Amino acid sequence: MSDILFWVYLVNSILLIDHEIDSAYWEEWKLFRLPGGITGFLLIHIPVLFFVLYGLVLIYQQSYMGLICSLILSLSGIFAFTAHMYFISNGRDEFKTTISLLILASTLIVSVVQAYLTINLILK
């Protein structure tokens, strides 16, 4: 199951990174009222991307900390979908393009699968 988790983690990482690229287009820092504009947004993503990629390395190494990173990543994907659906349902126009919605929906599905696999491995 840890081999499957590696690939699910990789796919979710790609989806979430693609979503963050989309987030820069939509100026997400304004949506979440983050300070610093694009500069702050990009600086925040340096440790975030390090965490995502390092977590993949830890999953490959079958480390327990990799499972913790995997759980955090999967919960982040579920949060991203939920938060953006909340904003959309409240009339915000960001992330309403077909590709944005497809990325968010795919992220939700993959994140749920990843959370399931991760929790099973943690409890094993």
pLDDT in tens, 93-124: 999 999 999 999 999 999 999 999 999 999 98
pTM reported for the whole predicted model: 0.94
**Which pLDDT belongs to residue 60?**
97
Alpha carbon distance 85, 79 (integer Å) = 10
Q: What are the φ and ψ backbone dihedral angles of 6, each rounded to 5 degrees?
A: -55, -50
Average pLDDT score over the chain: 96
Which tokens hold the place of 72? 């955090």
**Which pLDDT belongs to residue 17?**
98
CB neighbourhood size of 12 (10 A)? 25
Do the Cβ atoms of 5 and 121 come closer than 8 Å? yes
pLDDT in tens, 40-56: 999 999 999 999 999 99
- Enumerate residues 6+ apart whose C-beta is below 8 A from 2: 59, 62, 121
Taking residues 63-79, report their average pLDDT. 98
